[in-house]
Amino acid sequence: MPWRRSFARAELGAADRFAGANLVFGVYDWGRSPSQRGTRPHEGPDLLDPDGIRIFGECYLPGRSDDERRDPAVSPGFADLRGLPPALLSVGTCDHLLDDTLLFASRSAAAGNEVDLFVAPDLPHGFGFVPCGITTRWQQRTERWFEEVLAR
């Protein structure tokens, strides 16, 4: 498929119409990254598991192989990310989507975009609902990020 650019820029022509993107616990590789398959730096509990992610992928992209699911049209981690607005990406080290976030953040930064990455140690997918010091810091950082981006 010739679709190699970000959706916001290529399909909508809208990359210049938003100030930034707050990307939280996202799927950026539908081809099942290592963390989606169960290889994570921390084996703590998570809301997601490899079987659930596999089922989601089959429902969303039925009949496609893992390689076909890495098409940039559906897996933004493999898209042309040049020229995107600033992004804040957040994920926990117990999240089965950890690798997706790290992939997207590193590729976006390598493409010259402004990227802020918040990795919450020992926390699962959806960690915003876990009341603790780390999530308080994450909420503060997110609010500050919005203030900084919107002040430009």
Where are the domains positioned within the chain? 7-150
CATH class of segment(s) 7-150: alpha beta
- Sheet bearing 87-92, strands edge to edge: 21-24, 87-92, 115-120
Per-residue pLDDT of the chain (152 residues; tens, 9 = 90+): 333 445 555 565 666 778 899 999 999 999 999 999 999 888 889 999 999 999 999 999 999 999 999 999 899 999 999 989 999 999 999 999 999 999 999 999 999 999 999 999 999 999 999 999 999 999 999 999 999 999 99
Tally Cβ neighbours within 10 Å of residue 1: 8
pTM of the model: 0.88
